Amino acid sequence: MSHLTIYPDNQPENITLETEDGDVISAELDKIGVRFERWGCQGILPEMAGDEDVMEAYSADIKRLMEENGYQSVDVIRLSADHPDKEALRLKFLSEHTHSEDEVRFFVEGAGVFYLRVSGKVFMTLCERGDLISVPAGTKHWFDMGPEPHLTCIRLFTSKEGWVADYTGDKIADEFPKFEKEQKAA
């Protein structure tokens, strides 16, 4: 289940809000300009479903987002526990960074945690199957897919070149809890 935990950014031991209520998660993230939605799942796709099949299953929502926000391209990314570079990929995303365009992810299956640092707070947001999150351009954040990743996500872009990470160099991510949940197919 989706989960939001909010901390002061200088007190990772002090939780100021913790909830699994989707309406509360959406409202709290909306206050900082982050879009969070729960989409109806389009059934269980076959394990080997192709990218086109995944995008077709969610085509109405993809089209809506593209029209609303001017996104120009869409793709599907998958990561599993047997990926040979899973440790290096996890470390790459665990460092605080920004992007020059929105980071838009819809979780078709699996889970991951976005940590958003805004206005002196860290919003630790667990996203699972059926969750959409859109992190605005310029927002300081990091992402943890866990030590045994399992995720399939639809990504939307204005320009893939705009999605290059600009690392802040701040070690704040080291201070907050990691996503250690054992990953299973949702």
Whole-model pTM: value is 0.92
Percentage of the chain surpassing pLDDT 70? 92
Tell me what pLDDT residue 183 has.
40
Tell me what pLDDT residue 186 has.
37
DSSP three-state, residue 52: helix
Tell me what pLDDT residue 160 has.
65
For residue 156, is pLDDT > 60? yes
Tell me what pLDDT residue 1 has.
86
| H or E stretch covering 110 | strand 103-118
Domain locations in the chain? Answer: 3-174
CATH architecture of 3-174: Sandwich (2.60)
Lowest-pLDDT range of 79-88, 131-140, 174-183: 174-183
Q: How confident is the model at residue 84 (pLDDT cuts 50, 70, 90)?
A: very high
Answer positive or negative: Cα dihedral of 26, 144, 153, 155.
positive
